[in-house]
Structure 1
Amino acid sequence: MGFTMGLNLLLLVAMVATNILSLYHLSSTIQAPKPPPPQQVPDHLLHQLHTIRATINHLTRHHPGSSSGVSSGNSKPPVPSDLVLYSHLSPIASSCHDNPDLLHRYMNYTPFSTCPLDSDLAESLVLRGCHPLPRRRCFSKTPTKPTSSLSQDPFPSSLPDSNVLWAKYSCKSFDCLNRFNPNLGFDPAHDIANFMTYKSELDLPIPQLLQIAKAANSVIRLGLDVGGGTGTFAARMKLYNITVVTTTMNLGAPYNEAVALRGLVPLHVPLQQRLPVFDGVLDLVRCGHAVNRWIPVTALEFLLYDVDRVLRGGGYLWLDHFFSKGVDLEKVYSPLIGKLGYRKVKWATASKTDSGGLKNGEVYLTALLQKPVSK
């Protein structure tokens, strides 16, 4: 009911605005004894009319009651729904109002008491573009008996289970997660050789990366790992005294907690969120497996230009094993990346050989690109 009334009101405002513009033209024509030369409508009136029309178009496309927050107008490849949400384009946080049921549940709490155990609800809102979340006046729940002795080593032999709230997860320990899939990154000792070996042209070991920067009279001190999982890349860079923060989401497992338990900084932000970093201050941005062909092209374009915003002149963008269909890499993604005007330090491609890659004709791309010092 409220949606229909609001839409009717906007339609009425649009009709009134259109009539005002028509009267404006009519009055200017009558006052002149001869047909005057064509006059342009003032820019502010055109802007208001365009705003009204854009709002109406948005509302008429909106489907109340949809729980996914993703438009169903175009057919999409069958990908996990959480990944689709993870890359949903939402330039501003108005999406909080597009999910009133979730927002009501999130804000239905008792002030000045312990917050509900609803981090999964919070993440659902974040993935739907409601970010930053509304602030609340309650105390976050912490583990009952956390260990006080945390390792300074970013590659500890194990991560302490007692420092995580496991209630919302099917696994109740890091050992369970490792048994389920040892490649998830929850066994730091298992990942200690990552980013250090060269197996194919798609690999860029960290020593080689640092040598490239040194040869270019550049320096890498500060970096950002976009979609960095449990923070293995940041952990390895820490051993070189390089500070890297990791953006990650808790998609079915405590990724943020794992990053923090390794003595690293997790940023709980989705791909569609503007990077919480000031302009031109980073030396390196790495985009791993979270950045791939499942991201809508427009969302990926916004991400690339936001990376450009935070990189300093001479800084590096590293697309690490980006995968897409081979034809899309040639016709869509290569031109999109090329718009940045970065220097290609490394550009390597290879066929993706797993079942999904063979079925869809997918390829990997590893690219190291350097931002111009000035434009």
Structure 2
Amino acid sequence: MGFNMGPNLLLLMAMVATNILSLYHLSSTLQSPKPPTPQPVPDQLLHQLHTIRATINHLTRLQHTTTSNTPATSTTTTIKTSIPSDLLLYSQLSTIASSCQNHPDLLHKYMSYTPFALCPLDSDLAESLILRGCHPLPRRRCFSRTPPKPTSSLPENPFPSSLPDSGVIWNKYTCKSFDCLNRFNPNLGFHPAHEITKFMSYKSELDLPIPQLLQIAKAANSVLRLGLDIGGGTGTFAARMKLYNVTVVTTTMNLAAPYDEAVALRGLVPLHVPLQQRFPLFDGVVDLVRCGHAVNRWIPLTVMEFLFYDVDRVLRGGGYLWLDHFFSKGVDLDKVYAPLIGKLGYRKVKWATGLKTDTGGLKNGEVYLTALLQKPVSR
């Protein structure tokens, strides 16, 4: 018995080895062809992915910590997290400029140009992308165009008798001159000489003349030096403040007219940014933010809330937020917008309301709000 054990064991081992080799060969022949070698992932994309993953992990840990530290009154009580729902919602938004992928046709058209030549005359195309949340990089290999016959001199007075037509490339506009724009609608602000009386007179409680604004600031020992005018059109508020040695930059968009060029031709600074974009200013650096006609009830509520918090970011302690003729439906002012503004915790220096008496206002039951609010000096 002991004599036959050795060969039998060797035979068994040989059979097992043979079966293993056969199975390996069979499995290797049945495998699908190997996929192509993947291309290396760009470092920038990896960095963005790591940032997104880190943000999600941070929110997850924060939500878990908040939930575990929240006392429950009973075993059947649902434990609520203190993280605002909008924070969790908007933490899912993609990184900067990723919304460009939602408009590939526009982006492709924008980036189709001849390198080392003049850039196409399509600034309205870039503006269309910006308004859709896509902020494309500037074209790197084409030369920006200049007006065919630029003026040899520019006015130093921010309220000149007229603006030089030669300072604008008019190709994309229906009107080809500032006179045409003034005839079309004299209230657009393209006739600086007619704008000089604005922000200076008091007709009702809804008005806040600039001399009164400066007096309020002086009485509070608050200096006004730097300001931001949101949706300031052709820059009339900035022009008037310039005469009081206050520097104001104006956010504006070229919607069917050359607003940015008009601001610059008056010797002022235009910021070509939409309302939903973060202001290109550092934290706590301006003394005054004015919200004009552009900031009103047509803005989605969440976007408006983000806008107000970005205003808070750029305002210094003790700075002022001026809501100039903000309009909304009367019922919404009490139930929606007043509580939204109240979240800022600003001191009410002025709060005046009145009926919006034009046709649209009467039709929609709208009211105006003019408010001057002061940010707390410290928090």
1:288-319 CA distance string (max 9 Å, x none): 00000000000000000000000000000000
The 1:277–1:198 alpha-carbon spacing in structure 2 relative to 1, beyond 3 Å, is: same
Query: 1 or 2 for the larger relative contact order (CA 8 Å, sep ≥6)?
Result: 1
Provide the residue aligned with 1:243 in structure 2. Answer: 247
Is the Cα contact below 8 Å between 1:325 and 1:362 reproduced in 2? Answer: yes
- Does the 8 Å CA contact 1:347/1:368 hold for their aligned counterparts? yes
1:348 match: secondary structure: strand
Q: 2:262 aligned with 1:226, yes or no?
A: no
DSSP 3-state at the match of 1:131: coil
Aligned mate of 1:201, from 205, 211, 214: 205
Give me the TM-score of the superposition, normalised by structure 2.
0.75
State whether structure 2 residue 262 is matched by structure 1 residue 262. no
| Equivalent in the alignment of 2:142 | 138
1:156 counterpart residue number: 160
Alignment partner of 1:301 is 2:305 = yes
Cα gap change, 1:98 to 1:360, in 2 (>3 Å): same
Q: Kindly state the Cα deviation for residue 109 of structure 1 after the two structures are TM-superposed.
A: 0.7
**Aligned amino acid, residue 107 of structure 1:** M
Contact 2:126-2:136 within 8 A present in 1 as well: no
Task: Supply the AA of the counterpart residue of 1:224.
Answer: L
User: Residues 132, 308 of structure 1: CA spacing in aligned structure 2 closer, same or farther, 3 A cutoff?
Assistant: farther
- Taking the TM superposition and a 5 Å limit, the aligned residue runs for 1:269-284 are 269-284=273-288
Q: Indicate which of 314, 321, 327 corresponds to 2:318.
A: 314
Matched AA of 1:156: P
Contact 2:100 2:136 in 1 (8 A): no
* 1:133, distance to aligned residue in structure 2 (A): 3.8
Per the TM alignment, residue 136 of structure 1 is displaced from its structure 2 partner at its CA by 2.8
Residue 132 of structure 2 corresponds to which residue in structure 1?
A: 128
The answer to whether structure 1 residue 97 and structure 2 residue 85 are counterparts is no
The verdict on how the C-alpha distance between 1:237 and 1:132 changes in structure 2, with shifts beyond 3 A counting, is farther
CA distance in 1, matches of 2:96, 2:328: 28
Aligned pair partner of 2:151 in 147, 151, 171: 147
Q: CA deviation at 1:134?
A: 4.5
CA contact (8 A) 2:129 2:136 kept: no
| Separation (CA, whole Å) in 2 of partners of 1:359 and 1:196 | 30
Match of 2:196 in 1: 192
Q: Secondary structure at the match of 1:156?
A: coil
Which string of whole-angstrom CA distances, capped at 9 and with x for unpartnered residues, describes residues 175-197 of structure 1? 00000010000000001000000
Q: How much does 1:160 deviate?
A: 0.4
Question: What is the Cα deviation at residue 90 of structure 1?
Answer: 9.4
Query: How far apart, in 1, do the equivalents of 2:372 and 2:95 lie?
Result: 27
Using the TM superposition, give the Cα deviation of residue 112 of structure 1 relative to its aligned residue in structure 2, in angstroms.
1.5
Calculate percent identity across the aligned residue pairs: 85
1:331 aligned residue: 335
Larger Rg: 2
- Equivalences for residues 14-29 of structure 1 within 5 A: none
- Cα RMSD between the aligned structures? 1.9
Aligned length in residues: 293
Cα separation, 2, equivalents of 1:137 and 1:316: 43
1:349 counterpart residue number: 353
The verdict on how the C-alpha distance between 1:366 and 1:90 changes in structure 2, with shifts beyond 3 A counting, is farther
Report the AA paired with residue 373 of structure 1: V
Paired letter, 2:226 = L
The SS at the match of 1:189 is helix
After TM superposition, list the pairs within 5 Å mapping 1:211-222 onto structure 2: 211-222=215-226
Report SS of the residue matched to 1:321: strand
Give the superposition deviation at 1:135: 4.0
Q: Which residue of 1 aligns with 2:373?
A: 369
CA displacement at 1:137 relative to structure 2: 1.8
Aligned with residue 295 of structure 2, among 271, 291, 296:
291
Q: Deviations over 1:147-182 (max 9, x none)?
A: 111010000000000110001000000000000010
Work out the CA distance in 1 between the residues paired with 2:140 and 2:278: 22
CA distance in 1, matches of 2:372, 2:94: 28
| Paired AA for residue 256 in structure 2 | G
Measured after TM superposition, the shift of residue 91 of structure 1 is 8.4
Q: Distance in 2 between matches of 1:90 and 1:107?
A: 22
CA distance in 2, matches of 1:236, 1:97: 42
1:252 pairs with one of 242, 252, 256 = 256
Q: 1:210-265: CA deviations, max 9, x gaps? A: 00000001000000000000000000000001000000000000000000000000
**Residue identity in the other structure for 2:154:** L
Match of 2:213, SS state, is helix
The code of the aligned residue for 2:297 comes to R
SS in 2 for 1:146: coil
The change in CA–CA distance for 1:265 and 1:91 in structure 2 (over 3 A counts) is farther
Q: Distance in 1 between matches of 2:117 and 2:311?
A: 39
